[in-house]
Amino acid sequence: MLIAHRTAYLLSHRLCQIYRINPTSNMSLDSDKEAQIRHQRESELKRKAYRDMKEETRKVLKHARIETPTPEPDAVGLPRKRFYRQRAHSNPFSDHRLDYPQEPSCMEWQKLYPHYFDETTGTMSKNVEIADIGCGYGGLLIQLATAFPEKLSLGMEIRVQVTQYVEDRIIALREQNKDAEQYQNVAVLRGNAMKFTPNFFFKGQLSKMFFCFPDPHFKQRKHKARIITSTLLSEYAYVLREGGIIYTITDVEDLHKWMAKHLEEHPLFERKSVEWEKNDKCVQLMMNSTEEGQKVERNKGSKYVACFERLPTPEDCD
Amino acid sequence: MKHPIQILIADKSGEHIFASVTNHLLVLRASDGKLIGSWVDPVDAQEFQEKRFKARMEEQKKKEEANEDENAAKKLKNNKKEPKVPAPGPGAPTIYNYIRSLTLSRDESYLIGTTDSDKAAVIFKIDYSQDNCLSLVKRQVFPKRPCSVLTTLDDEKVVVADKFGDVYEIQGKDSAVVAEKDLVPILGHVSMLSEVIVAEHDGKQFVLTGDRDEHIKVSHYPKSYVVRNWLFGHHEFVSCLQICPFNEDILVSGGGDDYLLVWNWWEKKELAKVELRELVAPFLTDSHLPPERFFREDSPREICISKVRVYEQGDQKLLVVLCENTKCILTFSFNEDMSLTHKQTLSTTDSIIDFVIVSDAVLAAVDVESEDNLLQLFRFDDSCSLHHEDSDLTKVISKSVECEVSGRADFYPLYYISSLRKRSEH
Ligand SMILES: C[S@@+](CC[C@H](N)C(=O)[O-])C[C@H]1O[C@@H](n2cnc3c(N)ncnc32)[C@H](O)[C@@H]1O
């Protein structure tokens, strides 16, 4: 532990050194373009050093239980988003180097939710019930922690650095709220929900799945890249229990219509009424808590909501 | 010199053999090798691609004109150029005009193939009373290349799995063709599909699909929107799924792993794992190494399973296994508990492209530069051991193959299963 703290300290020290580099020295000799490239490289180095520092902290704290000694205060502060920026789109079809369990029973949930691991029996006292698919920077996930203190919520996100940001955010919140033991019930993992959802969850394990402001993939030819399609809905229906809810929200009207249409046409889903939406606390949460939702709010955009209940599996399908 | 035979299948009685060579289909009588049916795909792949490309460009242009403003706005928003459809030209990869998969309907009165050229399923009525027993019923074009097809239990529907991970169903017997835009998948994976199977349990039907991400999914049918379960056990792609005729609950699966798995798919149970590495190792060559781009000092030679079939003789049940681009056939005997015991490693003079079990023999299409013999025959003896047999049949059948090439360089790709292996990009 001590060594890890030291590394974290050294890393933050190195970060300061990098900050001090003067990107404009020798400017007279360089063309603008070269300077720009160098500047970009330096900024990326800065961001990388910051993330490395955070990574050391993460290694120390990720699996830590309450009794862990407090690390350097600087290292566990809430992470700053600008160091984790990443290209907006990730191709859900490509063969990312992903870590995923061979099957749900192989998943070591205790690594994500150490407080819910019963060491005497070697089992988890609770299972993940709420999933935020494509959780982005984790705004909703953080809200779910306190809105559903009795339930485990999981964010699934395909972009590495965005996932790391959420991870660091949760670590910091756990540290800051150690006494109240809050935020132990939320976690994030990097994964491609369109391919590997069934590797993580058993049949009927989930009671809620959120799809907040999913990537719109405007072009007709890219529609299969959308995270809600009729064929994927069958897989989501598998991991959702009967009576479970799929929540969708988007600012893109076309996408809203498209998602609602595919959910409506799917025999295992039924739309919830506007009345129901009004009274559901999760609808309220997802309206404003996600980073994307807040951006839409700032730009005074519209938000379209559609929620669907998972219907019982037909009797003739065991 | 003749192009090697690429696919071999046969009917259950072993009376008729079906073969594909490039864009040719042949039907042969097993008793004497006589050619009794044939078909040559008239679609020119390159021409088709160009036509489709032109049609797309037209469509795109029309769309752009129709919503000029909307598009402009979107473009601004995305701050990106519209990607162009790649133009086929001299630099573009060759499009091979061949038949990728071949299957018979359950009542064996229809033959169904899939073509790479125009991404279609071609369905033939088989009528042995005709001079040419094959007559084309229809040609159904799909949005993406179909990889595997099978009929439902009643042969009314043909279930087609494609490269994009989608599964479609079309009418099997009438000549009606569905417009591409009206085709709606009945289920799908977000991964290339390699094999689709329609299996039965207690009179109910299920669709089993294997993909490039090691997944085997079991869906109900016709309520294919209800996933029954997944069969987890592979680490690499799945390329073959085979239901055992002696017990339809038993499934054998294989692909890019060093092992085969035996399942009771109905009970969702893995019954046995059969390691192949040691047996196949002597037959692996440098051609089994990863492509140069991914090659590392310690890269092992990779095994890809290209076909598994069951052979029964009396109480003996055998599994016949072919690994891609190897000069051997492996056989295993099924034990009571469905574990498998290695029985024989038959080493062959040439690499085997495909094989089929015809009555009590294995007929293999071999990778040779030959004018007169493209096949080899291996017969099971009374104790179920395979022995090479010199037979006229192989030569007679080879005579019917009309695809002349000037050399190996003109062969179509004979081995492509290895390309399914995932190589990490990020
Ligand atoms: C527009 S963002 C919305 C993020 C967040 N839900 C919000 O409302 O702020 C969509 C997110 O989905 C993620 N994503 C896209 N495809 C995914 C997939 N197949 N699996 C997991 N995450 C995915 C993207 O990386 C991106 O962060």
ipTM of the complex: 0.89
For A146, the token pair is: 């306190």
| A60 contacts chain B (CB < 8 A) | no
* Omega within 30 of 0 (cis) for the link into B222: yes
Average pLDDT score over residue span B288-306: 93
Report CB contact under 8 Å: A234, B185. no
Mean predicted confidence (pLDDT) in B146-161: 97
Q: Are B323 and B331 in contact (CB under 8 A)?
A: no
Percent of chain B with pLDDT over 90: 83
pLDDT on residue A82:
74
State whether the beta carbon of A159 lies less than 6 angstroms from ligand 1.
Answer: yes
The best mutation among A94, A160, A215 to test binding of ligand 1, ranked by most ligand atoms within 8 Å of the C-beta, falls on: A215
Can you read off the two tokens belonging to residue B292?
């140069």
In a mutagenesis test of the A interface, which of B225, B234, B236 is the best target, namely the one with the most A β-carbons within 10 Å?
A: B225
Rg of the Cα atoms in chain A: 21
Residues in Cβ contact with A200 at an 8 Å cutoff, skipping those fewer than 6 apart: A100, A101, A104, A107, A128, A156, A189, A191
Is A101's pLDDT higher than 70?
Answer: yes
pLDDT exceeds 50 at position B136 = yes
pLDDT at residue A47 greater than cutoff 60: yes
Query: A215-269: per-residue pLDDT in tens?
Result: 999 887 788 889 999 999 999 999 999 999 999 999 999 999 999 999 999 999 9
Question: How long, in residues, is chain B?
Answer: 426
- The bridge status of strand B247-255 relative to strand B238-244 is antiparallel
Residues B1, B20: Cα–Cα separation, whole Å: 17
pLDDT at A83: 74
A74 vs B207 pLDDT, higher one: B207
pLDDT of A71 > 60? The answer is: no
Q: For residue A282, say whether it is annotated as part of any ligand binding site.
A: no
Task: Compute the C-alpha angle A125/A130/A134, nearest 5°.
Answer: 130
Q: What is the pLDDT of residue A64?
A: 55
- Give which of B41, B58, B218 is closest to B118, Cα–Cα: B41
CA distance A288 to A294: 6
**B226 is written with which tokens?**
């209800």
| Cis-peptide, bond into residue B300, ω within 30° of zero | no
Report the percent of chain B where pLDDT is more than 70. 91
From the DSSP assignment, how many helices (H) and strands (E) are in chain B?
A: 4, 28
A92, A103, A317 ranked by CB distance to B226: nearest: A317
Q: Examine the pLDDT at A17 and tell me if it is beyond 60.
A: no
Residues of A within 8 A of B235 (CB-CB) are: 102
What burial class does residue A18 get, using C-beta atoms within 10 Å of its C-beta: 0-12 exposed, 13-18 middle, 19+ buried?
middle
Are A237 and B220 a contacting pair at CB < 8 A? no
**A180-194, A214-228, B310-324, B327-341, range with the lowest pLDDT:** A214-228
Reference B281, options B260, B262, B303; nearest CA is B303
**Considering only A160-164, A177-181, B73-77, B110-114, which range has the smallest mean pLDDT?**
B73-77
Q: Strands A206-212, A240-250: parallel, antiparallel or unpaired by DSSP?
A: parallel
- In this prediction, residue A88 has a pLDDT band, given cuts at 50, 70 and 90, of low
- Whole-number Å distance, alpha carbon A279 to ligand 1 midpoint, is 26
Domain B7-43+97-278+388-417 sits in CATH 2.130.10.10: yes
As given in the structure block, the two tokens for residue B1 are: 């010199």
According to the 3-state scheme, what is the secondary structure of chain B?
Answer: CECCCCEEEECCCCCEEEEEECCEEEEEECCCCCEEEEEECCCCHHHHHHHHHHHHHHHHHHHHHHCHHHHHHHHHHHCCCCCCCCCCCCCCCCCCCCEEEEEECCCCCEEEEEECCCCEEEEEEECCCCCCCEEEEEEEECCCCEEEEEECCCCCEEEEEECCCEEEEEECCCCCCCCHHHCCCCEECCCCEEEEEEEEECCEEEEEEEECCCCEEEEEECCCCCEEEEECCCCCCEEEEEEECCEEEEEEEEECCCEEEEEECCCCEEEEEEECHHHHHHHCCHHHCCCHHHCCCCCCCCCCEEEEEEEEECCEEEEEEEECCCCEEEEEEECCCCCEEEEEEEECCCCEEEEEEECCEEEEEECCCECCCCEEEEEECCCCCEEEECCHHHHHHHHHCCCECCCHHHCCCCCCHHHHCCCCCC
**A192 annotated as belonging to a binding site for a ligand:** yes
Residue among A85, A135, A192 to mutate when testing ligand 1 (max atoms within 8 A of CB): A135
Mean pLDDT to the nearest integer, B159-184: 95
What mean pLDDT do residues B295-315 have? 95
Q: Do A314 and B226 touch (CB under 8 A)?
A: yes
User: Which is nearest to B122 in space by CA: B138, B143, B142, B146?
Assistant: B138
Domain-by-domain residue ranges, chain B? Answer: 7-43+97-278+388-417
**On the CB side of B317, how many CA atoms lie within 13 Å of its CA?**
14
Residues of chain B with Cβ-Cβ distance to A267 below 8 Å are 223, 225
Q: What are phi and psi of B131, to 5 degrees?
A: -60, -45
For residues B236-243, average pLDDT: 97
Lowest mean per-residue pLDDT among A28-37, A111-120, B81-90, B169-178 = B81-90
Question: How many C-alpha atoms does A70 have within 13 Å on its Cβ side?
Answer: 10
pLDDT at res. A53: 81
> Which among A138, A194, A195 is positioned nearest to A162, based on CA atoms?
A138
Query: Which distant-in-sequence residues (6+ apart) come within 8 Å of A173 by Cβ?
Result: A78, A142, A145, A182, A183
Residue B274: strand pairing partners: B260
Higher pLDDT, B84 or B93: B93
Q: Is the pLDDT of residue B359 over 70?
A: yes
**pLDDT exceeds 80 at position B148:** yes
Contact B374, B4 (CB under 8 A): yes
pLDDT confidence of residue B83 = 44
For A153, half-sphere exposure in the C-beta direction (CA atoms, 13 angstrom radius) is: 25
Tell me how close the Cα of B313 comes to any Cα of chain A, in angstroms: 36
How would you classify the pairing of strands A152-157 and A206-212?
Answer: unpaired
Enumerate residues 6+ apart whose C-beta is below 8 A from B189: A195, A231, B165, B209, B211, B213, B215, B217
pLDDT of residue A267: 98
- Kindly indicate the confidence band of residue A27, based on its pLDDT and cuts at 50, 70 and 90: very low
Of B185, B225, B425, the CB nearest to A266: B225
Expressed in angstroms and rounded, the spacing between residue A158 Cα and the centre of ligand 1 is 7
Question: In this model, does residue A78 exceed pLDDT 50?
Answer: yes
Least confident of A54-68, A86-100, A129-143, A171-185: A54-68
pLDDT at residue A280, as a whole number: 97
**What integer pLDDT is reported at residue B78 of this predicted model?**
47
Could you tell me how many residues make up chain A?
A: 318
Å between B425 CA and nearest CA of chain A: 6
Mean pLDDT across B295-313: 95
Position B347 pLDDT exceeds 60: yes
Which residues does B409 contact at the CB level (< 8 Å), separation at least 6? none
For residues B27 and B18, is the Cβ–Cβ distance under 8 A?
yes
H-helix or E-strand containing A209?
strand A206-212
Q: Is A181 annotated as a binding residue?
A: no
pLDDT at B223 (0 to 100): 98
Q: Percentage of chain A surpassing pLDDT 70?
A: 83
pLDDT tier for residue A92 given thresholds of 50, 70 and 90: confident
**Residue range A180-197, pLDDT digits in tens:** 999 999 999 999 999 999
**pLDDT value, residue B211:** 97
The two counts, helices (H) then strands (E), for chain A are 10, 9
- Residues 6 or more apart whose Cβ sits within 8 Å of residue A204: A238, A239, A240, A241, A242, A244
First to last CA, chain B: 44
The per-residue pLDDT of chain A, averaged, comes to 85
Q: Is the pLDDT of residue B312 over 90?
A: yes
